[in-house]
Structure 1
Amino acid sequence: MISVSVQHRFAGFDLDVAFQAPPGVTVLFGPSGSGKTTLVNAVAGLLRPDAGRIAAGDWVLLDTAARRFVPPHRRRLGYVFQEGRLFPHLTVRQNLLYGRWFAPRGAEAPGLSHVVELLGLGDLLDRRPGALSGGEKQRVAIGRALLAAPKLILADEPLAALDEARKAEILPYFERLRDEVSVPILYVSHSSAEVARLATTVVALRGGRVTAVGPPGRVLGDVAAMGVRGAASVLVARVVAHHADGLSELATEGGRLWLPLVADAPGSTLRVRIAAQDVILSRARPEGLSALNILAGTITEVRPGHGPGAMVVLAVGEDRLLARITLRSAEALGLAAGQTCHAILKTVAVAPEDVGTGARMAGDAERT
């Protein structure tokens, strides 16, 4: 459990944030200037806030009321920056083992062989950082942090400096960390695709304040927190089969979903992020369309916007599916809560980075 309450005043900016999150990956999400990195600096001890309390489980890092402030070098944190920040004169093996110098005597820590296997570093151990790609450097940086036996890992936009190919390379390793490592992770991002794939809990920030806290399916679908253009759904799907034409067949509670070939084996459970603006609605099941994905759901809400648009929320089994359409279309179709509706999505509208491993998070089905 991560527990954070921080209040701090800068010239022209006030940070006032409080949240609690269960184990897993807690993503601090928001636009530039929302206070994400400032908050991480407070957790790291690089900023001493005016007031607050920060704890990871029973490890209290800050409690201004009790006059407790653990200095940064004693906080037992693993920090993963935007760049790997590896020692260029050391091999990958030596960079990894450097992290072990900071593990307290007797502390439970993963062994080197386990970290190497977890992060796929076996073929890189004798190389130096200059011979590594950006994604490989980040994997080494994560491994070094794990070997320090941290009580909490901080990751400050660790994919921001990578191109799309390198991001696709490293995201599965963060998913493995979430699912296989017990150390909680506080992860900073402004990418909703990363949030959908990685988060156990999302803390949405804007202007130094928390606008929403919860599982990714609920927060990404919160228009007040995400904005109309950023709203999206997270559907849980099971891989059924891979087909010779380059498509994968997935099963959702609303019907079959066809996506460009995914790497996961049949039977795997995936999260699929679908942007609200990519969904078209039809009262009756349409025929004669090129779009392969037609999911059935029940309308739970029609939310008129401040302009010409409307957000329609559908219940698709335990998941929620959002569709951003014009208010004119909603009125022409006579859309209202309780009606059966069909959501239409082009196969190519879902990018590879929108698909990741992971089951539904507790609370994803709650209505906002």
Structure 2
Amino acid sequence: MMPAKLSVAIRHQFPGFTLDAAFDAPAGLTALFGQSGSGKTTIVNAVAGLMRPQQGRIEADGLILSDSRSGRFLPPHRRGVGYVFQEARLFPHLTVRQNLLYGRWFSGRDGADLSRIVDLLGIGHLLKRRPAALSGGERQRVAIGRAILSNPRFLLMDEPLAALDDSRKAEILPYLERLRDEAGLPILYVSHSAPEVARLATTIVLIGDGRVVAAGPAARILSDPATAPALGVAEAGAILPARVEALEPDGLMRLTCAAGPVWLSAQEGLVPGTSLRLRILARDVMLARHRPEQVSALNILPVTVRDMAPDGDSGMLVRLDAGAEALLARITRRSVQGLDLQPGQPVFAVLKAVSVAPGSVGKGSVS
């Protein structure tokens, strides 16, 4: 039975750096997000058993992996961890099929069904090839499959896309989404790419200088003005769950989200009934006191001002209630004064651009 939660609370002193982090990673994909050197990989290595924290406790759904008080420390091979590194680290002399089955053989347990994982990762046509004949994205998919087939309690992924170019990242992202939604494995995922995290994460743990800056559901963390400095103001925004309702005759598709309908250019693979995420950057949201008339923008949502926070010398981040979800707008202080914005005030959010992250990525701006 797969664990529902991974709990981490550790402290370790390095020369010139102290790691002191505590968080819970529930089912789904929990992203450890932060700049290089913030301690993300060290945390993952502690969970994997590759380093022993001086203090603290790590527990996976009742199984104690590490506890400094009792002295318990399970070695890596007894933790049931599937670890995917930046590089695939496949055996070059084995075929894809043999690499996949190695994980099951090494664990000594029957893991996930091979055919199911092959289908999940779209690698059925690669089974007879050797790693040298694969692209970078294909090698990473095989590495993920090998990790899953070792029947792990949870999956650790340390920046698995960092070594790939943009086209290879675009190739593998849909498979990571399927893995998140269908594999039934809790995933701890290290990244310093805000777009990647916004697309994949169900939970976000922001790490800065060895400490947890913020942690919680991805939608809340991404739309919180207080986390914008850690995320990078340019990447601050929100994610809204949405559903494709109809494909229009003029080439647009109509989606529904908590705040109302959204129109985007139709994209291959998106049919009525498809669930997806809309990513809306704060810089792509304009505000109006009254619903704009005779403008080119189609996506205008009624929202309510929740709160505001300063953004540098001249800017403000305005958090908005959009139905049961939240939006974030980045505007100037002068605009706040001109609109006389106050918490609780109804306004309209004009969306200049919306990114779509279903099983395949797309980006559209309808105006």
TM-score normalized with structure 1 length = 0.91
- Aligned residue for 1:364? none
- Aligned residue for 1:62? 66
1:214-261 Cα deviation digits (max 9, x unpaired): 100111122322313332111111112234655432112323222343
In structure 2, which of residues 33, 39, 47 is the aligned counterpart of residue 35 of structure 1?
39
Note if 1:251 corresponds to 2:253.
Answer: no
In structure 1, stretches of 5+ residues that fail to align are: 359-368
**Matches of 1:289 and 1:318, distance apart in 2:** 27
In structure 2, which of residues 235, 243, 259 is the aligned counterpart of residue 238 of structure 1?
243
**Matches of 1:8 and 1:85, distance apart in 2:** 28
CA contact (8 A) 1:302 1:335 kept: no
SS across alignment from 1:31:
coil
Measured after TM superposition, the shift of residue 340 of structure 1 is 1.5
Note if 1:311 corresponds to 2:317.
Answer: yes
Note if 1:229 corresponds to 2:268.
Answer: no
CA contact (8 A) 2:259 2:325 kept: no
- Aligned residue for 1:275? 281
**Matches of 1:8 and 1:137, distance apart in 2:** 34
Range with greater deviation from structure 2 (120-129 or 224-233): 224-233
**Matches of 1:199 and 1:208, distance apart in 2:** 20
**Matches of 1:184 and 1:301, distance apart in 2:** 33
**Matches of 2:344 and 2:55, distance apart in 1:** 47
- Aligned residue for 1:320? 326
1:148-182 Cα deviation digits (max 9, x unpaired): 11111110011112222222221222222222222
- Aligned residue for 1:170? 172
CA contact (8 A) 1:44 1:77 kept: yes
- Aligned residue for 2:105? 101
In structure 1, which of residues 153, 156, 179 is the aligned counterpart of residue 155 of structure 2?
153
Range with greater deviation from structure 2 (139-148 or 37-46): 37-46
- Aligned residue for 1:261? 266
- Aligned residue for 2:292? 286
Number of equivalenced pairs: 352
User: Cα RMSD (Å) of the superposition?
Assistant: 1.8
Residue 162 of structure 2 aligns with an amino acid whose one-letter code is A
* Structure 1 runs, 4 residues or longer, greater than 6 Å off: none
Range with greater deviation from structure 2 (202-211 or 296-305): 296-305
CA contact (8 A) 2:242 2:275 kept: yes
SS across alignment from 2:347:
strand
TM-score normalized with structure 2 length = 0.91
Range with greater deviation from structure 2 (232-241 or 137-146): 232-241
Residue 22 of structure 1 aligns with an amino acid whose one-letter code is P
CA contact (8 A) 2:206 2:212 kept: yes
Measured after TM superposition, the shift of residue 30 of structure 1 is 1.1
SS across alignment from 1:171:
helix
Identity in percent = 59
In structure 2, stretches of 5+ residues that fail to align are: 361-367
